[in-house]
Protein backbone atom coordinates (compact mmCIF):
# COMPACT_ATOMS: atom_id res chain seq x y z
CA UNK A 1 0.00 0.00 0.00
CA UNK A 2 0.98 3.59 -0.54
CA UNK A 3 2.59 4.78 2.69
CA UNK A 4 1.75 8.36 1.76
CA UNK A 5 -1.93 7.65 2.37
CA UNK A 6 -3.41 8.41 5.79
CA UNK A 7 -4.55 5.44 7.90
CA UNK A 8 -8.16 6.38 7.12
CA UNK A 9 -7.56 6.27 3.36
CA UNK A 10 -5.77 2.92 3.64
CA UNK A 11 -8.54 1.45 5.80
CA UNK A 12 -11.13 2.66 3.28
CA UNK A 13 -9.16 1.02 0.46
CA UNK A 14 -9.08 -2.30 2.33
CA UNK A 15 -12.79 -2.19 3.19
CA UNK A 16 -13.80 -1.36 -0.37
CA UNK A 17 -11.95 -4.44 -1.67
CA UNK A 18 -12.97 -6.89 1.09
CA UNK A 19 -15.92 -9.17 0.23
CA UNK A 20 -16.28 -10.27 3.86
CA UNK A 21 -15.44 -8.49 7.12
CA UNK A 22 -15.46 -9.72 10.72
CA UNK A 23 -16.03 -7.06 13.39
CA UNK A 24 -14.82 -7.41 16.98
CA UNK A 25 -15.53 -5.46 20.18
CA UNK A 26 -14.18 -5.71 23.71
CA UNK A 27 -15.12 -7.76 26.78
CA UNK A 28 -17.58 -6.20 29.25
CA UNK A 29 -19.11 -4.38 26.28
CA UNK A 30 -20.38 -0.82 26.61
CA UNK A 31 -22.45 1.47 24.41
CA UNK A 32 -19.45 2.73 22.48
CA UNK A 33 -17.94 -0.57 21.41
CA UNK A 34 -21.29 -2.21 20.62
CA UNK A 35 -22.82 0.83 18.92
CA UNK A 36 -19.73 1.59 16.84
CA UNK A 37 -19.30 -2.05 15.79
CA UNK A 38 -22.95 -2.46 14.77
CA UNK A 39 -22.99 0.82 12.83
CA UNK A 40 -19.83 -0.12 10.93
CA UNK A 41 -21.29 -3.53 10.11
CA UNK A 42 -24.58 -2.12 8.84
CA UNK A 43 -22.68 0.37 6.69
CA UNK A 44 -20.50 -2.36 5.21
CA UNK A 45 -23.59 -4.43 4.41
CA UNK A 46 -24.96 -1.45 2.50
CA UNK A 47 -21.80 -1.74 0.40
CA UNK A 48 -22.66 -5.37 -0.34
CA UNK A 49 -20.20 -6.91 2.12
CA UNK A 50 -20.83 -10.06 4.13
CA UNK A 51 -20.44 -9.09 7.80
CA UNK A 52 -20.13 -10.98 11.09
CA UNK A 53 -20.15 -9.48 14.59
CA UNK A 54 -18.21 -10.92 17.55
CA UNK A 55 -18.01 -10.20 21.26
CA UNK A 56 -16.82 -12.68 23.91
CA UNK A 57 -19.47 -11.53 26.41
CA UNK A 58 -23.27 -11.22 26.26
CA UNK A 59 -24.75 -7.91 25.13
CA UNK A 60 -25.83 -5.92 28.24
CA UNK A 61 -29.60 -5.77 28.71
CA UNK A 62 -29.77 -2.00 28.19
CA UNK A 63 -28.10 -2.32 24.77
CA UNK A 64 -30.20 -5.14 23.33
CA UNK A 65 -32.57 -2.63 21.75
CA UNK A 66 -29.87 -1.54 19.31
CA UNK A 67 -30.47 -2.43 15.66
CA UNK A 68 -28.67 -5.71 14.78
CA UNK A 69 -27.60 -6.35 18.41
CA UNK A 70 -29.18 -9.81 18.24
CA UNK A 71 -26.68 -10.75 15.54
CA UNK A 72 -23.62 -10.43 17.78
CA UNK A 73 -22.08 -13.85 18.29
CA UNK A 74 -19.85 -15.19 21.04
CA UNK A 75 -18.33 -17.65 18.55
CA UNK A 76 -15.44 -16.70 16.30
CA UNK A 77 -16.42 -16.48 12.63
CA UNK A 78 -15.95 -19.76 10.77
CA UNK A 79 -14.80 -19.73 8.04
CA UNK A 80 -12.74 -16.70 8.88
CA UNK A 81 -12.85 -13.65 6.55
CA UNK A 82 -9.51 -12.24 5.47
CA UNK A 83 -10.37 -8.82 6.92
CA UNK A 84 -10.86 -8.33 10.66
CA UNK A 85 -11.78 -4.96 12.18
CA UNK A 86 -11.38 -4.34 15.91
CA UNK A 87 -13.52 -1.54 17.29
CA UNK A 88 -12.76 0.29 20.56
CA UNK A 89 -10.11 -2.28 21.61
CA UNK A 90 -6.77 -1.26 23.11
CA UNK A 91 -5.22 -4.67 22.49
CA UNK A 92 -6.11 -8.25 21.59
CA UNK A 93 -6.50 -9.22 25.24
CA UNK A 94 -9.54 -6.93 25.37
CA UNK A 95 -11.20 -9.44 23.03
CA UNK A 96 -9.76 -12.50 24.82
CA UNK A 97 -7.68 -13.27 21.76
CA UNK A 98 -4.04 -14.13 21.14
CA UNK A 99 -2.04 -13.38 17.99
CA UNK A 100 -1.88 -17.13 17.31
CA UNK A 101 -5.69 -17.21 16.88
CA UNK A 102 -5.58 -14.82 13.93
CA UNK A 103 -4.94 -16.58 10.58
CA UNK A 104 -1.66 -15.43 9.10
CA UNK A 105 -3.21 -14.01 5.90
CA UNK A 106 -5.67 -11.82 7.84
CA UNK A 107 -5.63 -8.03 7.41
CA UNK A 108 -6.23 -6.55 10.89
CA UNK A 109 -7.80 -3.08 11.11
CA UNK A 110 -7.69 -1.27 14.45
CA UNK A 111 -10.19 1.56 15.08
CA UNK A 112 -9.91 3.11 18.53
CA UNK A 113 -9.73 6.27 20.66
CA UNK A 114 -7.87 5.03 23.75
CA UNK A 115 -4.57 6.72 24.56
CA UNK A 116 -3.28 3.32 25.74
CA UNK A 117 -3.89 1.55 22.41
CA UNK A 118 -1.12 -0.92 21.52
CA UNK A 119 -1.30 -0.37 17.72
CA UNK A 120 -1.71 -4.11 17.19
CA UNK A 121 -3.29 -3.87 13.75
CA UNK A 122 -1.81 -3.93 10.28
CA UNK A 123 -3.57 -0.57 9.89
CA UNK A 124 -4.33 1.55 12.95
CA UNK A 125 -6.53 4.62 13.17
CA UNK A 126 -6.22 5.82 16.76
CA UNK A 127 -7.54 9.23 17.73
CA UNK A 128 -7.23 9.84 21.46
CA UNK A 129 -8.89 13.25 21.04
CA UNK A 130 -12.20 11.65 20.04
CA UNK A 131 -14.70 11.33 22.87
CA UNK A 132 -15.84 7.95 21.57
CA UNK A 133 -14.94 5.40 18.95
CA UNK A 134 -18.37 6.33 17.59
CA UNK A 135 -16.91 9.63 16.37
CA UNK A 136 -14.37 7.75 14.26
CA UNK A 137 -17.07 5.40 12.99
CA UNK A 138 -19.24 8.33 11.85
CA UNK A 139 -16.30 9.79 9.93
CA UNK A 140 -15.26 6.46 8.41
CA UNK A 141 -18.80 5.59 7.28
CA UNK A 142 -19.19 9.02 5.71
CA UNK A 143 -15.86 8.77 3.90
CA UNK A 144 -16.86 5.35 2.59
CA UNK A 145 -19.67 7.22 0.84
CA UNK A 146 -22.45 5.52 2.81
CA UNK A 147 -25.46 7.58 3.85
CA UNK A 148 -26.07 7.08 7.57
CA UNK A 149 -29.61 5.80 8.04
CA UNK A 150 -31.71 5.73 11.22
CA UNK A 151 -30.46 2.31 12.37
CA UNK A 152 -26.81 3.29 11.99
CA UNK A 153 -27.51 6.64 13.64
CA UNK A 154 -29.18 4.94 16.62
CA UNK A 155 -26.06 2.85 17.17
CA UNK A 156 -23.69 5.76 16.64
CA UNK A 157 -25.62 8.13 18.90
CA UNK A 158 -25.58 5.46 21.62
CA UNK A 159 -21.81 5.11 21.20
CA UNK A 160 -21.22 8.84 21.57
CA UNK A 161 -23.75 9.65 24.29
CA UNK A 162 -22.53 6.85 26.57
CA UNK A 163 -18.79 7.44 26.23
CA UNK A 164 -19.14 11.21 26.59
CA UNK A 165 -21.21 10.82 29.76
CA UNK A 166 -24.19 12.48 28.05
CA UNK A 167 -21.81 15.14 26.70
CA UNK A 168 -20.55 16.18 30.13
CA UNK A 169 -17.06 14.64 30.17
CA UNK A 170 -14.03 16.75 29.33
CA UNK A 171 -13.46 14.81 26.08
CA UNK A 172 -16.64 16.30 24.58
CA UNK A 173 -15.77 18.80 21.85
CA UNK A 174 -17.51 21.03 19.31
CA UNK A 175 -16.84 18.28 16.76
CA UNK A 176 -18.70 15.83 19.01
CA UNK A 177 -21.79 18.03 18.86
CA UNK A 178 -21.47 18.59 15.11
CA UNK A 179 -21.35 14.85 14.43
CA UNK A 180 -24.22 14.23 16.83
CA UNK A 181 -26.34 16.85 15.06
CA UNK A 182 -25.88 14.90 11.82
CA UNK A 183 -27.16 11.78 13.56
CA UNK A 184 -30.19 13.60 14.95
CA UNK A 185 -31.06 14.70 11.42
CA UNK A 186 -31.85 11.06 10.56
CA UNK A 187 -34.93 11.24 12.80
CA UNK A 188 -33.76 8.74 15.41
CA UNK A 189 -35.93 8.19 18.48
CA UNK A 190 -33.98 10.27 20.98
CA UNK A 191 -36.30 9.77 23.96
CA UNK A 192 -36.54 6.04 23.26
CA UNK A 193 -32.76 5.67 23.17
CA UNK A 194 -32.33 7.53 26.46
CA UNK A 195 -35.15 5.52 28.05
CA UNK A 196 -33.46 2.24 27.16
CA UNK A 197 -29.97 3.40 28.14
CA UNK A 198 -30.62 5.25 31.36
CA UNK A 199 -34.17 4.76 32.67
CA UNK A 200 -34.49 0.98 32.73
CA UNK A 201 -32.28 -0.29 35.54
CA UNK A 202 -32.80 -3.86 36.77
CA UNK A 203 -33.66 -4.11 40.48
CA UNK A 204 -30.57 -6.30 40.91
CA UNK A 205 -28.38 -3.38 39.83
CA UNK A 206 -29.79 -1.12 42.55
CA UNK A 207 -29.26 -3.86 45.11
CA UNK A 208 -25.68 -4.20 43.91
CA UNK A 209 -25.26 -0.43 44.29
CA UNK A 210 -26.43 -0.81 47.89
CA UNK A 211 -23.63 -3.26 48.61
CA UNK A 212 -21.11 -1.05 46.82
CA UNK A 213 -22.13 2.04 48.81
CA UNK A 214 -21.92 0.06 52.05
CA UNK A 215 -18.24 -0.52 51.25
CA UNK A 216 -17.48 3.16 50.54
CA UNK A 217 -14.19 4.50 51.91
CA UNK A 218 -12.94 8.08 51.68
CA UNK A 219 -9.20 8.76 51.71
CA UNK A 220 -6.63 11.44 50.84
CA UNK A 221 -8.43 14.22 52.71
CA UNK A 222 -11.62 13.60 50.77
CA UNK A 223 -10.02 13.42 47.31
CA UNK A 224 -10.24 9.63 46.88
CA UNK A 225 -13.42 7.54 47.07
CA UNK A 226 -13.21 3.73 46.87
CA UNK A 227 -15.95 1.09 46.65
CA UNK A 228 -15.52 -2.66 46.41
CA UNK A 229 -17.71 -5.61 45.46
CA UNK A 230 -16.93 -9.25 46.21
CA UNK A 231 -18.38 -12.29 44.48
CA UNK A 232 -20.81 -12.74 47.36
CA UNK A 233 -22.25 -9.27 46.72
CA UNK A 234 -23.10 -10.26 43.16
CA UNK A 235 -24.66 -13.51 44.36
CA UNK A 236 -26.77 -11.86 47.08
CA UNK A 237 -28.00 -9.08 44.80
CA UNK A 238 -28.67 -11.40 41.87
CA UNK A 239 -26.63 -9.07 39.64
CA UNK A 240 -24.32 -10.12 36.83
CA UNK A 241 -20.91 -8.52 36.38
CA UNK A 242 -22.22 -6.30 33.57
CA UNK A 243 -24.56 -4.54 36.01
CA UNK A 244 -21.60 -3.06 37.88
CA UNK A 245 -20.82 -0.83 34.90
CA UNK A 246 -21.34 2.82 35.75
CA UNK A 247 -21.64 2.36 39.51
CA UNK A 248 -18.34 4.15 40.06
CA UNK A 249 -19.90 7.38 38.79
CA UNK A 250 -22.10 7.57 41.87
CA UNK A 251 -19.08 8.31 44.06
CA UNK A 252 -17.30 10.37 41.44
CA UNK A 253 -19.92 13.03 42.08
CA UNK A 254 -19.12 13.37 45.80
CA UNK A 255 -18.06 16.96 46.54
CA UNK A 256 -14.27 17.23 46.83
CA UNK A 257 -13.52 13.85 45.22
CA UNK A 258 -10.96 13.92 42.44
CA UNK A 259 -10.62 10.14 41.96
CA UNK A 260 -13.30 7.44 42.26
CA UNK A 261 -12.49 3.73 42.19
CA UNK A 262 -14.64 0.62 41.98
CA UNK A 263 -12.90 -2.68 42.67
CA UNK A 264 -14.82 -5.85 41.90
CA UNK A 265 -13.93 -9.48 42.41
CA UNK A 266 -14.45 -11.48 39.23
CA UNK A 267 -12.65 -14.65 40.29
CA UNK A 268 -10.26 -16.09 42.88
CA UNK A 269 -7.54 -13.46 43.31
CA UNK A 270 -8.78 -11.59 40.24
CA UNK A 271 -9.84 -8.00 40.91
CA UNK A 272 -10.97 -5.61 38.19
CA UNK A 273 -10.57 -1.92 38.91
CA UNK A 274 -12.46 0.95 37.31
CA UNK A 275 -10.86 4.37 37.84
CA UNK A 276 -12.43 7.77 37.16
CA UNK A 277 -11.10 11.27 37.78
CA UNK A 278 -12.83 14.64 37.67
CA UNK A 279 -10.44 17.48 36.88
CA UNK A 280 -6.75 16.77 36.55
CA UNK A 281 -5.42 13.36 37.67
CA UNK A 282 -4.39 11.07 34.79
CA UNK A 283 -5.87 7.72 35.82
CA UNK A 284 -4.56 6.12 32.63
CA UNK A 285 -1.07 6.37 34.14
CA UNK A 286 -2.30 4.74 37.36
CA UNK A 287 -3.99 1.91 35.45
CA UNK A 288 -0.89 1.42 33.28
CA UNK A 289 1.15 0.81 36.43
CA UNK A 290 -1.05 -2.25 36.99
CA UNK A 291 -1.01 -3.41 33.36
CA UNK A 292 -4.21 -1.65 32.32
CA UNK A 293 -5.09 1.57 30.55
CA UNK A 294 -7.79 3.66 28.95
CA UNK A 295 -8.19 7.44 29.03
CA UNK A 296 -6.89 10.27 31.19
CA UNK A 297 -10.20 10.51 33.05
CA UNK A 298 -11.39 6.89 32.77
CA UNK A 299 -9.28 3.74 32.86
CA UNK A 300 -9.26 0.17 34.10
CA UNK A 301 -6.92 -2.60 35.18
CA UNK A 302 -6.91 -6.13 36.56
CA UNK A 303 -4.95 -7.23 39.63
CA UNK A 304 -4.16 -10.86 40.37
CA UNK A 305 -4.27 -10.51 44.16
CA UNK A 306 -6.89 -10.72 46.94
CA UNK A 307 -9.25 -7.76 47.38
CA UNK A 308 -7.51 -6.41 50.50
CA UNK A 309 -4.15 -6.27 48.73
CA UNK A 310 -5.67 -4.80 45.54
CA UNK A 311 -7.38 -2.06 47.52
CA UNK A 312 -4.19 -1.14 49.34
CA UNK A 313 -2.10 -1.13 46.16
CA UNK A 314 -4.55 1.05 44.23
CA UNK A 315 -5.02 3.38 47.18
CA UNK A 316 -1.27 3.85 47.68
CA UNK A 317 -0.66 4.57 43.98
CA UNK A 318 -3.47 7.11 43.78
CA UNK A 319 -2.58 8.83 47.05
CA UNK A 320 1.00 9.21 45.84
CA UNK A 321 -0.21 10.66 42.53
CA UNK A 322 -2.52 13.06 44.37
CA UNK A 323 0.33 14.14 46.64
CA UNK A 324 2.69 14.73 43.74
CA UNK A 325 -0.01 16.65 41.93
CA UNK A 326 -0.51 18.97 44.88
CA UNK A 327 3.23 19.45 45.30
CA UNK A 328 3.66 20.37 41.63
pLDDT at 1 over 80: no
Question: What domains are there in the chain, each with its CATH number?
Answer: 7-198 (3.90.1640.10), 203-327 (3.10.310.30)
Share of the chain above pLDDT 90, in %: 92
pLDDT at 2 over 90: no
pLDDT tens per residue, range 93-148: 999 999 999 999 999 999 999 999 999 999 999 999 999 999 999 999 999 999 99
Return the pLDDT at 5. 56
pLDDT at 35 over 50: yes
pLDDT tens per residue, range 137-157: 999 999 999 999 999 999 999
Rounded average pLDDT over 291-312: 94
Rounded average pLDDT over 273-298: 94
pLDDT tens per residue, range 257-278: 999 999 999 999 999 999 999 9
pLDDT at 328 over 80: no
Return the pLDDT at 148. 98
* Residue 326: pLDDT band with limits 50, 70, 90: low
Q: What is the average pLDDT value for the chain, to the nearest integer?
A: 94
pLDDT at 309 over 90: yes
pLDDT tens per residue, range 145-189: 999 999 999 999 999 999 999 998 888 999 999 999 999 999 999
pLDDT at 4 over 50: no
Asked whether the whole model's pTM tops 0.85, one would answer yes
Q: For the chain, give the secondary structure using H, E and C.
A: CCCCCCHHHHHHHHHHHCCEEEEEECCCCCHHHHHHHHHHHHHHHHCCCEEEEECCCCCCHHHCCCCCHHHEECCCCCCCCCEEEEECCCCHHHHCCCHHHCCCCCEEEEEECCCCCCCCCCEEEECCCCCCHHHHHHHHHHHCCCCCCHHHHHHHHHHHHHHCCCCCCCCCCHHHHHHHHHHHCCCCCHHHHHHHHHCCCCHHHHHHHHHHHHCCEEEHHHCEEEEEECHHHHHHHCCCHHHHCCCCHHHHCCCCCCEEEEEEEEECCEEEEEEEECCCCCHHHHHHHCCCEECCCEEEEEECCCHHHHHHHHHHHHHHHHHHHHHC
Amino acid sequence: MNNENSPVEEIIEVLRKAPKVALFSHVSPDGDCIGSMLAMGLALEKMGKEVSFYNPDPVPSNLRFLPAASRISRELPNPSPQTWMFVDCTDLQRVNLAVSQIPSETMVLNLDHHISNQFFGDLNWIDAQACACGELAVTLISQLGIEIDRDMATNLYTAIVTDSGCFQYSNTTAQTHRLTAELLDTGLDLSGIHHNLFDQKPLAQLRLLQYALDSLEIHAEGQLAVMSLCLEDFQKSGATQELSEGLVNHIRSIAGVEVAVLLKEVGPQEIKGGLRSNQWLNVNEIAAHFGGGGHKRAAGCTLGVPMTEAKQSIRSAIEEALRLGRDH
